[in-house]
Structure formats: structure tokens, C-alpha cells
Amino acid sequence: MSAPTQVTAQRTEAFFRLCNDRNAKSPYLRTKPRIIEALGLLGVPSQKARVIMERVVRIWQRDGPTNLRTREGQKRREDTTAEVSTIYPEVFAMPCNGPEERLFVREKAIHAMIWYATSRTRPQRRRGARRAAQQSQTQAQQSQTQAQQSQTQAQQPQTQALQSQTQAQQSQTQALQSQTQAQQSQTQAATNN
């Protein structure tokens, strides 16, 4: 299920199901304002949510960068989740209205904060990097084509000179053949007399 572009933030199971959907093409909880907004629906003041997020960032950066897709990253995420839950039990141990809300409060909110923390430490891709790479490749191909054309044009005078030389040699050969035929004719005429 992919996240719709416009979502009404309400304290409903459907909204928290959307927040918990990690298989979405564009997961809902990928920005700081959305995480703060979702926690706000549970009664967490925005200032407290910001403090919690900064704490998660500090905890995550404390031990250096780790790739979340590795076993070490998964273990570290679980440890960070447990640590943050014990620091803020009033937020992450609060009573919940349903299973999706409970999953959000116990895990997914902290996981989203960890993802936010890692997104601040990973190198940012330039927007349009693929387009820029394609343009530079196209320019390189155009330069190569121009170089080949220049080389071909530079070789044309040499080719023309070789063609002229070949034609001159062919003319000499024809002249020699004509001379040889004339001599043979004279020799035959002299032999017949």
C-alpha cells in the first residue's frame, strides 16, 4: 500500500496503519514535522516531541554511523528503541486504543526517529544526479564523435594524395603497357619481314 499524497492526520487505526506501513513506496513518517504531528495526535506536545527526536539523534550518533540494513544496524536500532522507551515511559508506554496505535507508540515512532537520525548523517544525493550524469555522458559521446570527424577530415588530404599517387602510378603502368605493346608489334613486324 503506498501512501496517498494528502492524508488527514487523525487518531484512528487507519492513520496509524499508514504510519506503520514500512512497505509503502513513500512511507508517511519520513519527515520531522510528520513525526511530531503523529505524536501530537497522542497528546505529546510538539516541543517534547522535538526534544525526544534530538535525544534519539544524539543516541544514534553516539556510537558512530551504522547501516540500518545490517544485523548490527538492526540490533542497534532495537537497543536504541529500548533506551528511548525507558527514558520517556510517559510517551512510549502510554495506553493505546488499538493494535496499530500500540505498534506505532511502542516501535514505529522511534524507528521513524532513528531513520530521521540516519538520514541526517548519510551523504545526501544531489537532486538530478542521474540527469547530470546522462548529460555528461552525452557530452562525452558528442566530443568523441567530433574528434572522430576531425580525424577523418584530417585524413582526407592524405587519402586524396594517395589516390592521386595511385592514379599517377596507374597512368605510368598504362603508358608502360602501351610502350611494351608497341615494342612487341615492332618486333613482330621485323620478324615477319
Is residue 58 assigned to a domain? Answer: yes
Is residue 19 assigned to a domain? Answer: no
Is residue 166 assigned to a domain? Answer: no
| 31-35, 132-136, 149-153, 168-172: least confidently modelled range | 132-136
| Cα–Cα distance measured from residue 94 to residue 102, given in angstroms and rounded to the nearest whole number | 9
* Residue 41 Ramachandran class (φ > 0 left, ψ -120 to 50 alpha, else beta): alpha
Nearest to 90 by CA among 51, 33, 35: 51
Nearest to 92 by CA among 171, 152, 39, 157: 39
The residue segments making up the domain with residue 115 are 26-121
pLDDT at 124 over 70: no
Q: Whole-model pTM?
A: 0.57
pLDDT at 1 over 60: no
pLDDT at 3 over 60: no
Is residue 45 assigned to a domain? Answer: yes
Is residue 168 assigned to a domain? Answer: no
Is residue 179 assigned to a domain? Answer: no
Is residue 150 assigned to a domain? Answer: no
Is residue 55 assigned to a domain? Answer: yes
How confident is the model at residue 24, as a pLDDT? 67
- Concatenate the DSSP letters of all residues of 78-138 into one string: HHHHHHHHHH-HHHHT---SSHHHHHIIIIIHHHHHHHHHHHHHSPPPPTTHHHHHHHHHH
Split into its structural domains, the chain has a count of: 1
pLDDT digits (tens, 9 = 90+) for 144-167: 888 888 887 877 888 788 888 888
Q: What's at 50, amino acid-wise?
A: R
Q: Which residues contact 3 (CB under 8 A, 6 or more apart)?
A: 18, 21, 24, 25, 26, 27, 28
* Structure confidence at residue 5 as a pLDDT band (50, 70, 90): very low
Helix, strand or coil for residue 150?
Answer: helix
pLDDT digits (tens, 9 = 90+) for 76-121: 989 999 999 999 999 998 998 889 888 889 888 888 888 888 876 6
pLDDT at 2 over 60: no
